[in-house]
Amino acid sequence: MKNIIIILIVTILSCHCDSGSCNIENYNRDSKYMINLLEKINSEGNPQMYFHWNKKLAEYYKNKLSQSPKKVNFKIWLSYFYQLLLSGQNQLCIDEIEKKIKKDKSSYDLLIGAALPVMEILGLAYLRLGEQVNCTNNHNEYSCIL
């Protein structure tokens, strides 16, 4: 039993980091590399490859609107509104949908067929904005449900 304890103590004491990865300079170098890599992805990355870049995807769809034929514009508008909602830009989402409705001289009677998804997004945006405002104005355990 004594021999096992001695062997364990010798083994533990002899274990140390021989590789350069334990060195603080290498740690800083690796950290700087990761920072540079993430900055490059953020500045040059394609938002279509990253499903969580909702704000950049919204910008992408907004830019795509002017370049697309009228036939697919509704689908792009819908994607744009949805990405605004997912990015947490509730007020902007509401403003953009209402501006589109006024521009097209439509009314809120569009609760049929193709326009239903737009109205659902508008309703969700109003609901989310209301929850945020309620939580901010009446900050307590009942008004801020996460």
- Higher pLDDT residue, 59 or 115? 59
pTM of the entire structure? Answer: 0.67
Instruction: For residue range 24-54, list pLDDT tens digits in order.
Output: 566 788 888 888 888 888 777 777 777 778 8
Residues 25, 35: Cα–Cα separation, whole Å: 15
Three-state secondary structure string covering 31-89: HHHHHHHHHHHHHHCCHHHCCCCHHHHHHHHHHHHCCCCHHHHHHHHHHHHHHHHHCCC
Instruction: For residue range 50-102, list pLDDT tens digits in order.
Output: 777 888 899 999 999 888 887 888 899 999 999 999 999 999 999 999 998 88
| Angle at which helices 70-86 and 54-65 cross, to 10° | 160
Q: CA of 102: how far to CAs of 72, 73, 95, 97, 106, in Å?
A: 20, 16, 10, 9, 6
Q: What is the pLDDT of residue 110?
A: 57
Residues 60 and 50 sit within 8 Å (Cβ to Cβ): no
Sign of CA dihedral 44, 50, 54, 58: positive
Six-digit token string for 104: 């097209």
